[in-house]
Structure 1
Amino acid sequence: MNEVSTASRTGEAKKPGFIQLIFVDINGVPKGMEIPAGRYEEAVEKGIAFDGSSIPGFQGIADSDLIFKADPDTYAEVPWEGIARVYGYVYKDGKPYKADPRGVLKKTIEKLEKEGFKAYIGPEPEFYLFKKNGTWELHLPDGGGYFDLVTLDRVREVRREIALYMPALGLVPEVLHHEVGNAQHEIDFRYNEALRTADNIVSFKYTVKAVAELHGLHATFMPKPLYGFPGNGMHLHISLWKEEENIFVGEGGLSETALHFVGGILKHAKALTAVTNPTVNSYKRLVPGYEAPVYISWGYRNRSTLIRVPAFWGNGARIEYRCPDPSANPYLAFATILMAGLDGIKRKLEPEAYAETNVYEMDDTTRKKVGIETLPENLGGALEGLKRDRIVREALGGAYENFVTYKEREWEAYVEYLESMNLPENTKKVTEWELERYFHV
Structure 2
Amino acid sequence: MITEHLIMNANPIVVALQKPAAEFTKADIMDYIVQNQIRMVNFMYPGGDGKLKTLNFVINDLAYLDEILTCGERVDGSSLFSFIQADSSDLYVVPRFRTAFLDPFSEIPTISMLCSFFDKDGRPLESSPEHTLHKAAEAFREVTGMEFQAMGELEYYVISDDEDVFPAQDQRGYHESAPYAKANEFRTRCMQYIAQAGGQIKYGHSEVGNFSLDGKNYEQNEIEFLPVNVEQAAEQLLIAKWVIRNLGYQLGYNVTFAPKITTGKAGSGLHIHMRMMKDGQNQMLTNGVLSEAARKMIAGMMVLAPSITAFGNKNPTSYFRLVPNQEAPTSVCWGDRNRSVLVRVPLGWAVEADMCKSANPLELMADYNTSIKQTVEMRSPDGSADIYQLLAGLCVACRYGFEIDGALKLAEKTYVNMNIHAAENADRLNNLAQLPDSCVASADYLNRQRKAYEEYGVFSPAMIDGIVEQLRAFDDKNLRKTIEDYPEEIQKLVTRYFHCG
Q: Is the 8 A contact 2:443 2:467 kept in 1?
A: no
Equivalent positions of 1:331-346 (< 5 A) are 331-346=388-403
Matches within 5 A, 1:398-413: 398-409=462-473, 411-412=474-475
- Equivalent of 1:75 in 100, 104, 111: 100
Aligned letter for 2:420? V
Q: Is 2:150 the counterpart of 1:121? A: yes
CA drift of 1:403 comes to: 1.9
Per-residue deviation, residues 49-98 of structure 1 (Å, max 9, x unmatched): 11122224342313431110111111111123242211121111122222
Distance in 2, matches of 1:431 and 1:18, equals 42
Q: Tell me which residue corresponds to 1:200.
A: 236
Counterpart of 2:377 (choices 286, 301, 320) is 320
Alignment match, 1:9: none
CA contact (8 A) 2:43 2:55 kept: yes
**Residue in 2 that maps onto 1:181:** 209
Partner residue in 1 for 2:482:
424
User: 1:242-282 CA distances to partner (integer Å, 9 max, x unpaired)?
Assistant: 22221212233111011011000001111111111121111
* Counterpart residue number, 2:3: none
What are the within-5 Å matches in structure 2 for residues 8-47 of structure 1? 15-37=37-59, 39-47=64-72
Alignment partner of 1:271 out of 288, 303, 307: 307
Partner residue in 2 for 1:330? 387
In the alignment, residue 53 of structure 2 is paired with which amino acid? K
Q: Percent identity?
A: 24
Residue 380 (structure 1) aligns with: 440
Instruction: Give 1:278-357 correspondences, 5 Å limit.
Output: 278-313=314-349, 314-348=371-405, 349-350=407-408, 351=411, 352-357=413-418
- Partners of 2:327 and 2:52 lie apart in 1 by 29
Partner residue in 2 for 1:136: none
Matches within 5 A, 1:83-122: 83-94=110-121, 95-115=123-143, 116-122=145-151
State the shift of 1:41 in Å. Answer: 3.2
Query: 2:274, 2:36 → 1: CA distance?
Result: 37
Q: Does 1:61 align with 2:86?
A: yes
Aligned counterparts of 1:427 and 1:77: Cα–Cα separation in 2: 48
Name 2:291's counterpart in structure 1. 255
Counterpart-to-counterpart distance in 2, 1:317 and 1:347:
24
Question: CA offset at residue 111 of structure 1?
Answer: 1.4
Q: What is the match of residue 422 of structure 2?
A: 361
CA spacing shift, 1:111–1:392, aligned 2, 3 Å: closer
Question: Which amino acid is the alignment partner of residue 113 of structure 2?
Answer: V
Aligned to 1:396: 459
Give the partner amino acid of 1:355.
V
Match of 1:51 in 2: 76
Q: Work out whether residues 4 and 168 of structure 1, in 8 Å CA contact, stay in contact via their aligned partners in 2.
A: no
How many angstroms does 1:140 deviate by?
Answer: 12
SS at match of 1:374: coil
- Indicate conservation of the 8 Å contact 1:247/1:255, yes or no: yes
Query: What is the rounded CA distance, in whole Å, between the counterparts of 1:23 and 1:29 in structure 2?
Result: 8
Amino acid at match of 1:44: L
SS at structure 2 position matched to 1:99: coil
- Matched residue SS, 1:347: coil
SS at match of 1:315: helix
CA distance in structure 1 between the partners assigned to 2:165 and 2:66 by the alignment = 45
Structure 1 CA distance, aligned partners of 2:393 and 2:202?
A: 27
Change (3 A) 1:191 1:315: closer
Gap change, CA 1:147 and 1:292, over 3 Å in 2: same
Q: How many residues align?
A: 421
The verdict on how the C-alpha distance between 1:140 and 1:318 changes in structure 2, with shifts beyond 3 A counting, is farther
Unpaired stretches in structure 2, ≥5 consecutive residues: 1-11, 17-34, 211-218, 350-370
Are 2:441 and 2:477, in contact at CA under 8 Å, matched by a contact in 1? Answer: no
1:341 counterpart letter in structure 2: C
Determine if contact 2:166/2:179 at 8 Å carries over to the other structure. no
- Compare CA radii of gyration and give the structure with the larger one: 2
Matched position secondary structure for 1:35: strand
**2:403 alignment partner AA:** K
Judged with a 3 Å threshold, the aligned counterparts in structure 2 of structure 1 residues 242 and 124 are, in CA distance, closer, same or farther, namely same
Distance across 2 between alignment mates of 1:105 and 1:297: 25
SS in structure 2 at match of 1:340: helix
CA apart distance, 1:315: 2.3
Q: 1:32 to 1:406 in 2, by over 3 A?
A: farther
Instruction: Give the superposition deviation at 1:440.
Output: 6.0
Q: How does 1:207-218 map to 2 (within 5 A)?
A: 207-218=243-254
Cα pair distance change 1:140/1:381, threshold 3 Å: farther
- Distance of 2:373 and 2:183 partners within structure 1: 32
Residue by residue, what CA displacement relative to the aligned partner does 1:193-246 show, whole Å, maximum 9, x if unpaired? 100110000111011111111221011101112221111111111001122221
Cα separation, partners in 2 of 1:44 and 1:118, compared to 1, 3 Å: farther
Contact map agreement 1:142 1:154 (CA 8 A) in 2 = no
CA distance in 2, matches of 1:142, 1:321: 33
